[in-house]
Structures are given as C-alpha cells and as structure tokens.
Amino acid sequence: MDESKFCTGCGKPIEPGMQFCPQCGMVVSGSAADEQFKENEKEIRGILIQSRRNWLIFFLAIYAIPVIIAAIIALVDASSSANAIWENDSFQKWLSEHHISMTVNDIQNYITGAATMALLSGICACVSLVCVYLRKKWIVAVIACFAAAILCVWSIFGIIIGFLVGWMIITSKDVFDDWPEGTETEE
Ligand SMILES: [Zn+2]
C-alpha cells in the first residue's frame, strides 16, 4: 500500500501514508480514512434499509391481520348477518322504495363473496409481508401486494394505500437483494 499514488480528485501525487490529498482534501482511496468512510456508509445504508423494511412490515401487517380476522368472522357469520339485515325494517323499506327484489339468500351470497375477496386480499398481503420479512422474492412481494390492493374492491382508500405500498416495495429492491454485510442477519 506504500507505493506512490495519485489523487483520484485532482491527479496530484500522494505521499505514502497520507489519508487526504493536501491539494484538494479528497480522501485517499485505500487509506484508513477511506476504509472508515466506507464502513460508515455501509452502516448508514444498513440502518436505512432496516427502517424501510420495518415500515413495509408495519403497513402490510396493519392491513392483513384485521382484514383476515374480519373476513373469517364475516364468512362464519354470513347467514345470521344476512338474516339480521333482512329483518331490519329500514332495509325492507329501502328495498320497496327502490323496487329492488332481493332474497335473504342474495344478501348472504353477497356477504360471502365480499368476505372471500377480503380473505384473499389479506392472504396476498400476508404473502408479501413474509417475503419482506425474509428479504426474499422481491417480485413475489410486489405482485402479492398489488393483488391484495386490486382485491380490496370494497374500499377505494384501501386500493390507493395498497398501490402506494406496492410502489414502496418496487423501489425497495435493496431490502431484498444485496443485504449489506456486517449488519445483523437472522436465519
Ligand atoms: Zn487532490
């Protein structure tokens, strides 16, 4: 490392042992200062990636877990919910006012259909979450997140948030590949 070098910034010769160029102040590549800079950079990058991963896990979990629970409850309860809606006086009034012919079965089918879509949406969000958590299969995480958003047909707000999180995953490819060495790795 002691052979004579030239500054990568200004091209002036660098004396052996120098850490910074006396001419322009540029850090000499391969010097202890340079190693330290690279180390710090790597550490900061690791912290940023970790925090982005935590945010993605948070967004996906805060969506997936309540949706799956609500969907399962709705599926189990579909028949009694349909009956409760059916027996509601203002619902019957609304039906006759709008001349809609509907049976209690139609309501139950509607609840079951919507709950099934919600369940699928929640499962897709879970798949995406697991990929983010394991930092593996970036493309699966992206597709699963967009699938969860598209299946979230009962809520425009949910679709928009889903697409935003999907976009976050697209731009977070470094969360998945190229995990910087030197930071904690589970498994
Ligand atoms: Zn220089």
Q: Where are the domains of the chain?
A: 1-26+33-43, 65-176
Predicted confidence at residue 14, as pLDDT, reads 87
Q: What is the pLDDT of residues 63-84, one digit of tens each?
A: 999 999 999 999 998 888 889 9
Distance CA 102, CA 82 (A): 12
Distance in Å, CA 19 to ligand 1 centroid:
11
Mean pLDDT, residues 27-35 taken together: 89
Q: How far apart are CA 13 and CA 10, in angstroms?
A: 9
Which string of b and e fits 1-19 if b means at least 16 CB within 10 Å? eeeebebeeeeeebeeeee
Which protein residues have a CB closer than 5 Å to ligand 1 (ion)? 7, 9-10, 21, 23-24, 26
Ligand 1 mean position, distance from CA 36 (Å): 19
The verdict on pTM exceeding 0.85 is: no
Kindly state the percentage of the chain with pLDDT values over 90.
43
Task: Render pLDDT for 126-167 as a digit per residue (tens, 0 to 9).
Answer: 999 999 999 888 999 999 999 999 988 777 888 888 999 999
